[in-house]
Amino acid sequence: MKQIMTIETYNQMKAIGDPLRAEMMMYLCEGPYTGQQLSETLDIPRGKIHYHLKELEKNGIIEIVKKEEKNGIIQKFYRSVANGFTISEELLPFHEVDQTTRQIIYSMIDRAKKRVQTAPKEAFERKNNSENPEDWGYMSTAMEIEASEAQFKQWTKKYFALMEELEKMGEETEEEKNIYYFFNLGFQVQEFAFKKREKKDS
């Protein structure tokens, strides 16, 4: 399974940019699903789900990863071919690429909301009633930072390296482990929404 797949054709972009398909992809990036399972999860008629699965498969966005027989019926399990997607800059017009990217992000936000709603009670408990966020068992941050594009890209590389470091630590430890869900979003905006704090004189 690829980490990132580049969307290189207009048909691929159109396939993944559909709101329902984008929502389906949030699940298919996480693991294999049958059409029936997606139908029940999203409360969408099975026939409609199967149509969209075929369109995604036809455009190389998802693939069948296994088949199982149940009550004499062959069930097909579909999964995304990559953990994430990016759109080729060669696809024009640019505004359509922009709208597809936004639709994918909207679906990611909706999926993150559902993960918050279904998280266990202890996920958001403050450990030892500490007021220091570093002591909590979860992260919740909204910030605005001024930086150059080069600085942002340089920092992003460090961030992904830290994520890989945490994943490796989890694989190597013999301690009891929890599953942590991360949803990350960083992008350029036109103006500050938060008032900048005055720096205190040292």
Domain layout of the chain by residue ranges:
2-128
Residue 2: its pLDDT value, please?
A: 80
Compute the distance between CA of residue 23 and CA of residue 16 in angstroms, rounded to an integer.
9
pTM of the model: 0.62
Name the pLDDT band for 188 (thresholds 50, 70, 90): very high
Where do we find the tokens 């709208």?
99
Nearest Cα residue to 28 out of 49, 6, 12, 7? 49
Name the pLDDT band for 161 (thresholds 50, 70, 90): very high
pLDDT in tens, 47-77: 999 999 999 999 999 999 999 998 888 999 9
Which of 1.20.1440.230, 1.10.10.10, 3.40.50.300, 3.30.70.1230 is the CATH number of 2-128?
A: 1.10.10.10
pLDDT in tens, 3-35: 888 888 889 988 988 889 988 998 999 899 999
Residue 196: its pLDDT value, please?
A: 66
Name the pLDDT band for 101 (thresholds 50, 70, 90): confident
Residue 102 has pLDDT above 80, yes or no: yes
* 106 Cβ contact partners less than 8 Å away, ≥ 6 residues apart: 19, 22
